[in-house]
Structure 1
């Protein structure tokens, strides 16, 4: 994958740009909100905002309070989506929507997802301060449950918002840390799983003119380029098997020769090694593919230094911008596991999988964002997103969608996520500049 389609340094210091003075009050608001959010969900060494849990609840309450202070209309739907609206002159027109999620991974960083919601509120604050009379509504969404480490379903909150989840989801999907169902957690939070069971949409795609998701970059491309802002061209799709396993036979480590073993650990490692070889081949051919085995564990009830492991649990996360390549890789996995079963006398079970389609970002909105960055002298580049985002749900429904990335020096899903406030201000200047056109 080409990390960037184009790059252009802005005026001034692209590594740490000077904060645009016209955006200073809103940048200060964003900094204050992010600091409050971190303090409210601190779980050292990072923050924890579990999906449909206390940390996410507090985050939504803080954003709702800030929106009310700004004079925005505040509403929460049955599944907990927070809607904060700056009314436009013609309320019958489809709205411009800015949004992201407010949950986090355990002991994660403060900015993943939350920075996008905060930037939406800051953009609304600037429009109010300038006395802007927008033609249509601006809606800022606080979306539930994006981080699938809690519930093994991608884009859970945004798919629920549009009635896209299987009806059995609330009663069958269980949270990883508690073992309790989604419905139980929702009810505990004062929410109602009924719309999900009924497949009922709580937001009409036809009422959305476009969707924008500001977000920290979760990789190193902007840091390497020395640029504060990225305009996303597309979001990788994913093929995930979070609860895969291989079963063999527990036997004596010294007494059983290799030919008689049914070693689950070696079979699992052989599959992962074969997947890496395929990944390398695809890269050499110019294809876009990334593969990860995030979990690799023998059975703690049986494992011992003197035992051949008879069970291995593992996970697979495979991503690409190419939907056909994802489907081809899935077929390859089935063929390779069958081959290893016959060769090693084991049994693979990939378990339930999740499949998220790749999403292309709207070219027109990309250009609007780019022009807004040029007007403010912001250092920018066009780039693909390797991580998944709720924006993919909106794009998949045919809603013109785009993402704005902000530089983050220390990766993501860890306590060391960073967001320099000058970079946030640069992104906010691009966002508000684009809104002038999108809301007209």
Structure 2
């Protein structure tokens, strides 16, 4: 057996093809359970078929690509990520982890390496919850955690139900709650490579991050503040029921609370990603009678998330009284924080040191499917790859050299867990 060497040219080809599939004229749009996500999954199946990997899809159309191990009764090593995007996103969010896992398995086939245990890449459906209002939809289905009632959720762009979208891409939603699903006891570990979606690694000048934990969230996706439309010049302040001013007051109060949380040394983020009046009725000369907004609060501290949620409710009631409006918060959705496996973190740091590869430890402020695996008791780790310009925008900028350093570290970590002793080899260009 030769030492596996992941193929950078294959990686470039896959990213180029994913760009061709998802380009919307400005960025990448591959909607969850949509045509472009389906084409991306087909690309992975076609490539895996060429390397002789086992191909399987579960009832929800999550894709499993496996290199069989010598002992198929041993718990499997798993890696993977998603290939759907937010609207007008970048080409590397999620896709980098799926491509990395495929490069690892293909390099093992090329090198003639057969692991002791099954090693599986899962290309996960519907990670981006902008399309359906549920975090980690695909990985939840993989573990049997989806309530069948969720199948009636409409997709945000077309209003068509999750059930119908599943049927159109060959999934079998009628098996929800009845089909075989992943068993955490049969999974040795799950390792997800992902681009960093913030500025930490570029600022530190380091290519790879070893993730310590993943933030949970509390979200309100459909808040509506109902006021009263009125003439802007003829309505004194004491007579107004101004939805915009009520929303502004609520947002400022929550932002001030965030600053106090940070000053106390606690960790969280707060985002108002949508704030809009009704374009059909709001106008320059009217007090606005309706405001729509969303709230996204994230932290690794569940107690803090609950404390902030209580504050959201408190502020909604306050502005109702102060501004004579009605605040409809809508449904609250949540995800649970996840802690990464300490043993996997140590193993990753040791392997990186043997490669001469600089790394830092860091938390993930964004959510990832890895949190679902960790929540099911699977030893889980994430590897971040340096990426300029953030994420969830068309300007993601991951260098292929950084990506391949991450792939090589992933390959060694998976190979170690799959039961093969690692040879002592030289560094990858780092002094």
Short-chain TM bin: over 0.9
- Aligned counterpart, 2:156: 176
Query: CA offsets, 1:223-279, max 9 Å, x none?
Result: 001111111000010111111111111111111111111101100110000010000
2:318 aligned with 1:339: yes
Deviation, 1:76, is: 1.3
Deviation for aligned residue 1:105 = 1.2
Matched with 1:90 is: 71
Whole-angstrom distance in 1 between the partners of 2:277 and 2:288 = 7
| Alpha-carbon shift at residue 25 of structure 1 (Å) | 5.0
**8 Å contact from structure 2 (residues 6, 407) kept in 1:** no
Query: CA offset at residue 190 of structure 1?
Result: 2.0
List aligned pairs for 1:220-239, cutoff 5 A: 220-239=199-218
State the SS of the aligned residue for 1:215.
Answer: strand
Matched, 1:76 2:57: yes
Q: Distance in 2 between matches of 1:249 and 1:96?
A: 58
Question: Is the CA contact 2:67–2:114 (under 8 Å) kept in the aligned structure 1?
Answer: no
Are residues 1:412 and 2:396 paired? no
| Separation (CA, whole Å) in 1 of partners of 2:299 and 2:208 | 23
| Counterpart position of 1:251 | 230
Q: Which moved more, 1:37-46 or 1:233-242?
A: 37-46
Checking the alignment, whether the CA contact within 8 Å between 2:209 and 2:383 is kept in structure 1 is: yes
Residue ranges of structure 1 left out of the alignment (5+ in a row): 1-21
Taking structure 1 as the reference length, what is the TM-score of the superposition? 0.93
Q: Residue 223 of structure 2: SS of its match in structure 1?
A: strand
Q: Is the 8 A contact 1:162 1:200 kept in 2?
A: no
TM-score, structure 2 length as denominator? 0.94
8 A Cα contact 1:100 1:390, kept in partner: yes
- 5 Å-filtered alignment, 1:339-358, equals 339-358=318-337
In structure 2, distance between residues paired with 1:179 and 1:368:
45
- Out of 411, 418, 429, the residue aligned to residue 439 of structure 1 is 418
1:368 aligns with 2:347: yes
8 A contact 1:373–1:429 mirrored in 2 = no
Contact 2:4 2:108 in 1 (8 A): no
Q: Show CA shifts across 1:89-132 (max 9, x none).
A: 00001100001011011121111101101100111122223322
Question: Per-residue CA shift, 1:153-199, capped at 9, x if unaligned?
Answer: 1111111111112220112x110110111011111112111233x37
| Corresponding residue for residue 401 of structure 1 | 380
Aligned length: 417
Which of 64, 73, 89 is 1:108 aligned to?
A: 89
Quote the offset at 1:200 in angstroms.
5.0
Match of 1:119 in 2: 100
Aligned counterpart for 2:117 among listed residues 115, 124, 136: 136
> Does the CA-based 8 Å contact 2:206-2:386 persist in structure 1?
yes
Within 1, Cα distance between the matches of 2:221 and 2:187? 33
Query: What whole-Å deviation, never above 9, does each CA across 1:288-331 have from its counterpart, x for those lacking one?
Result: 01100010011122101111001100000000010110011111
2:28 aligned with 1:29: no
Larger RCO (CA within 8 A; separation ≥ 6)? 1
Please name the residue that 1:8 is paired with. Answer: none
Is 2:31 the counterpart of 1:50?
yes
Deviates more, 1:416-425 or 1:287-296: 416-425
Deviation by residue 1:399-419 (Cα, 9 ceiling, x = unmatched): 110000001011111111122
Choose which of 200, 208, 211 in structure 1 pairs with 2:190.
211
The DSSP-based 3-state class of the residue aligned with 1:158 is helix
Farther-moved stretch of structure 1 (239-248 vs 36-45): 36-45
Give the alignment partner of residue 274 of structure 1, picking from 253, 260, 264.
253
Aligned partner (choices 128, 151, 163) of residue 147 of structure 1: 128
Is contact 2:223–2:328 with CA below 8 Å preserved after alignment?
A: yes
How far off is 1:36 after superposition? Answer: 1.5
For 1:125 and 1:315, how far apart are their aligned partners in 2? 43
| Structure 1 equivalent of residue 425 of structure 2 | none
The answer to whether the Cα contact below 8 Å between 2:225 and 2:290 also exists between their aligned partners in 1 is: yes
Residues 95 and 138 in structure 1, CA contact (< 8 A), matched pair in contact too:
yes
In structure 2, what is the equivalent of residue 317 of structure 1? Answer: 296
> Is residue 17 of structure 2 the alignment partner of residue 60 of structure 1?
no
RMSD, matched Cα: 1.3
Query: Which is worse superposed, 200-209 or 281-290?
Result: 200-209
